[in-house]
Structure 1
Amino acid sequence: MLAVIGAAIAPGIAILSYFYLRDNLEPEPISLVTRSFLFGVLLVFPVMVLQYIMQNEWNWQNELFASIFQSAVVEEFFKWMVIYFAVYKHVEFDEPYDGIVYAVAVSLGFATLENLFYLVLNGVDIAFWRALLPVSGHALFGVWMGFYLGKAKFSGAHRLELRRLWMSLCLPIGLHALYNAIFLTTEYWFWLIVPFMLLLWWQALKKVKRAHDFGSKTLTSRPQ
């Protein structure tokens, strides 16, 4: 059992550590990052209940649409809500890259408990693929969410802030939906998911750099 728990938790902690250590401007308090991670863990339970109700009580006509809505829309929406209400207006959210840190923390908290459930039911044989695909996927969707949350908070104009907040929700939902669709629509999913994940990592690293560049300008423009 300890091996299963270790295999389930390690990928999330490793990926979160990577993005946290990339914050070279004003690193966030470990306590707040940990709290965000735990919020993501707790979020699994209401999401699972809602998904169970939707799956068993709603009369879905299209299996692909049902899967995408229950997974991509529900999961990304609730993660976004947690970040917005728990962190977005917090005093420690004081530079654009912080959005990435907190969104990745919530996303990986969610992915880690979800991963633990999968490994308990299916064994550690799938741990490697779970780390590469679902756990990494949640983190990368979180990068997109956090990037636009960071830009939204420091937009300087209400209308621009609203537009970026909308993007911070819709883009992760779209990417998550595409991720699900790859698995559900073709038996050759491996040949599509590999370039898709590589593209997500490439874009995520670009967004990390852009958030840092934007953060540097934000910090230097503050009154001393």
Structure 2
Amino acid sequence: MTFGPGSHQSPMGAPQQYPSTASHANSAPTSLTPPAYGAPVGYGTLPAYAAPAPQSAVPQLPVPTVKGRHTAVWLWVILGFLLLLVAAYMLLGIGSTGAVVGMILALVPLAIVVTAALLIDRWEPEPRSLVLFALGWGGIAAVAISLIVGIAVAFALPPTAEADALMTVIEAPIVEELAKGLGLLILVVMGKRAFDGPVDGIVYAMLIAAGFAFTENIQYFGQALADGVDSLTLTFFLRGIMSPFAHAMFTAVTGFCVGLAVRQGNRGNVVGMFLLGWVGAACLHALWNGSAVFGDLLALYFAIQVPLFILFIVGIILLLREESKLTRMRLSDYAAAGWFTPQEVNMLATRPGRRAALAWASSLGSGRGREMKQFIVDATELAAVRQRAISGRDPQAGADEWVLLNRTVADRQALLAR
């Protein structure tokens, strides 16, 4: 099915019903006013909703409260203070030239990993405040914690090759993965109304890891610069090109475990799953570091790291498919109550449906592509809100649900108004 520039076929319903405003009255639901209804098992009884106001009186309402979706100001203050400490350490260690060159080169792997994380996050985007905090925690706080512990351990151990190997293979993986993982626990608390499951956990973990690797790479590249251009080139190739996702894969194990506990709605399991993920992440990290210290790095890279990366990609694809199924399931609950048509659920909860809808809306011009995108975003968030309500972990889900239902009504009306 195609949606050409002049076509009146819409992925939201039958061709004769969309997008004509006049014929919208013939499509279901007519006034988008569901009857009083009870939800599927496990959710409880939903209230009856009054008919939404006419289009001109239905505002694009914000979610009623920002609590649980943003980072507290005092955390940014702490990050700012730690940034001064990390920056001072870097300047003393590699100098201003090394820091500038290292930062420029470190932007390459940072951009690769952040782009990948945001692509994974496209299905149900996370709040910008939490995304920035994840990057900041990884690049500043996790680095500061790792530096402090590393310096303390270095002073406690004798200056020998064996001690250096011990720190690289055991101390660094344990401490660094714990420091990065603490950021995930903070995000669970601060972003409890946005952190919805394994995919979100992996996205936040990748962002934290990207920030950590960015700062770590500045130091590595700056130190390599002092040894000459050849050393810098080799270090950049190994860290920036061959293994930009190394830290992301390690910490993603913790993110997956934490996200799984969050999805299940059992807060008591979060710490236990965090510890399980931390152990898994530290083991992968130790395997990677050990291959560089004790083995043939290139041979182990292709024998172990490449297969792990392939499994990492396959796992994310499967999780995204599961996310799509969950969105369809939750929106089908509302379709059964009359808020959406079955065609709309198919459009909003599948990638082919979304692509077709956006192509159709964009072909009509007048900003309808943007309006369709907003319709998709609000409906996806609505599905996530319902899932949080079902799990019982969000007492404010009912208020958000009502707001988002009104927003989806307004989104649809805006699409059909012109």
Scaled by the length of structure 2, the TM-score of the pair is 0.49
**Residues 156/94 of structure 1: CA separation in 2 closer, same or farther (3 Å cut):** closer
Q: Is the 8 A contact 2:117 2:203 kept in 1?
A: yes
Alignment partner, residue 7 of structure 1 = 105
Q: What is the letter of the counterpart of residue 104 of structure 1?
A: M
Q: Is the 8 A contact 2:102 2:222 kept in 1?
A: yes
Q: Is the 8 A contact 2:106 2:214 kept in 1?
A: yes
Q: What is the letter of the counterpart of residue 202 of structure 2?
A: I
Alignment partner, residue 314 of structure 2 = 206
More helix as a share of residues:
1
Q: Which runs of 5+ in 1 are unaligned?
A: none
CA distance in 1: counterparts of 2:263 and 2:124, whole angstroms: 16
Alignment partner, residue 273 of structure 2 = 164
**Residues 70/161 of structure 1: CA separation in 2 closer, same or farther (3 Å cut):** closer
State the shift of 1:163 in Å: 4.7
Q: Is the 8 A contact 1:99 1:149 kept in 2?
A: yes
Alignment partner, residue 129 of structure 1 = 238
213-222 or 70-79, which moves further after superposition?
A: 213-222
Alignment partner, residue 149 of structure 1 = 258
| 2:188 paired residue among 76, 79, 88 | 88
- Seq. identity, %: 23
CA distance in 2: counterparts of 1:139 and 1:58, whole angstroms: 29
CA distance in 2: counterparts of 1:55 and 1:170, whole angstroms: 23
Alignment partner, residue 192 of structure 1 = 300
Q: Is the 8 A contact 1:147 1:207 kept in 2?
A: no
Is 2:152 the counterpart of 1:53? yes
Q: Which runs of 5+ in 2 are unaligned?
A: 1-96, 226-231, 331-382, 387-400, 402-418
Alignment partner, residue 174 of structure 1 = 283
CA deviation string 1:126-149 (max 9, x = no partner): 212111455421011122222222
Tell me the matched-pair count.
Answer: 222
Q: Helix, strand or coil: the match of 2:112?
A: helix
How well do the aligned residues superpose, as a CA RMSD in angstroms?
Answer: 2.5
What does 1:8-47 correspond to in 2, within 5 Å?
8-42=106-140, 43-47=142-146
State the shift of 1:3 in Å: 4.8
CA distance in 2: counterparts of 1:18 and 1:199, whole angstroms: 18
CA distance in 2: counterparts of 1:58 and 1:134, whole angstroms: 29
The answer to which structure, 1 or 2, has the higher relative contact order (CA under 8 A, 6+ apart) is: 1
Q: Is the 8 A contact 2:181 2:254 kept in 1?
A: yes
State the shift of 1:213 in Å: 3.0
CA distance in 1: counterparts of 2:272 and 2:144, whole angstroms: 30
